[in-house]
Amino acid sequence: MLRRTILKAGAALALVTSLATVASAELSGPVNYIIPFGPGGESDISARLQQPFFKEKFGQDLVVSYQPGGGGAVGWASLNGLSGDGQTIMGVNLPHIVIKPAQKDVGFKTEDLNIFHMFHFTPDALVVTADSPYQTLEDLVADAKANPGQVTISGSGKASANHLAQIKFDKMTGATTTYVPFKGTGAAVTALLGKQVKAEWGYTTVGAAQGDAVRLLAVAMEERHPLFPDVPTFKELGYDMVGGAYRGIALPNTASDETTKMWSDMISEVNGDEAFRQKMLDAGFALLDVDAAEMDAFMAERKEEYLKDAREAGLIK
């Protein structure tokens, strides 16, 4: 009797296991999700937000690991040497993957990256402290015009999304500001809160994280961010600025078309989850749904714009 029960239980267990295997047909175990930066940045946070939803939908863990170096270049240069069996994926960031290889040989080319999904972006935002004399964007522009160079603005890195935003903004407004590069958004925000600089080129995520301590003067979106209904877009104020840092995920280029398709579908499904979208919006992100099929057109458009901006700014030849 007992033996039969055990046998039955064993059979049931085997059945359940095989069903589970069918459900995630091509994933053979936990997935190594490499972030080519240190922890705590926007890339890390958005990967962390994906983790529980991915586990729930596909039964496998996304194991995040960090491989910082060379502003992401070290990770991207190593990506295509990794196994393309679908068990390893890596975060990619725009404009980094366009600007870096255009500046110098960093061991990879933009076209080499097998990007299968761009799932969000952090819109550029001009941020000041809550007690800043700049109440509106025009206050800052007027000050920067009256005192050229005296308005110091922190941001993350050089030839980065923040830096490109500053260059573009100066050109559009005719004002002259001074860009002070910091190591990562956290350090740039610290400098702003400590009043080392007068403003910060950041993202909507900074507004979400800092709450009442800061004021966003404008955001670079087509429409206002749902989290900040009172913050105008640059467009509303007469400056045609829409953009920010875009983030997606890539596979090694040895991955088969089926594997790429599977991953594109899986991340699309996570991105389609209402609860996930809400968590992303609450953290200040803006969602993007560019899957593998649309990637080439999307990348071509972004690449053209970044290279044009960077060339005009003298960041690349």
| List of residues contacting another protein (CB under 8 A) | 38-41, 44-45, 48-49, 51-52, 55, 61-71, 73-75, 77-78, 100, 103-107, 149-150, 152, 157-160, 178, 180-183, 186-187, 189-191, 193-197, 209-213, 279, 283
Which residue, 182 or 246, is less far from another protein as judged by CB? 182
| Of residues 279, 284, 246, 208, the one with CA closest to residue 56 | 279
List alpha helices for the chain, DSSP H.
2-23, 42-58, 73-79, 96-103, 137-146, 161-173, 184-193, 204-210, 257-272, 274-282, 295-312
Residue 71's SS3 state is helix
Both tokens of residue 158?
């050089």
Measured N-to-C along each axis, helices 96-103 and 295-312 cross at an angle, to the nearest 10 degrees, of 50
| Contacting residues for 308 by C-beta, under 8 A, at least 6 apart | none
Nearest approach in angstroms of CB 214 to another protein is: 10
Nearest approach in angstroms of CB 43 to another protein is: 10
Nearest approach in angstroms of CB 155 to another protein is: 10
Which residue, 100 or 168, is less far from another protein as judged by CB? 100
Which residue, 8 or 311, is less far from another protein as judged by CB? 311
Nearest approach in angstroms of CB 266 to another protein is: 17
Which residue, 108 or 246, is less far from another protein as judged by CB? 108
Nearest approach in angstroms of CB 81 to another protein is: 10
Which residue, 212 or 240, is less far from another protein as judged by CB? 212
Nearest approach in angstroms of CB 32 to another protein is: 9
| Of residues 127, 129, 283, 132, the one with CA closest to residue 213 | 129
How far is residue 89's CA from residue 82's CA, in Å, rounded to a whole number? 9
Which residue, 107 or 232, is less far from another protein as judged by CB? 107
How far is residue 187's CA from residue 74's CA, in Å, rounded to a whole number? 22
Asked whether 51 and 64 are in contact (CB, 8 A), the reply is yes
Residue 16's SS3 state is helix
Residue 24's SS3 state is coil
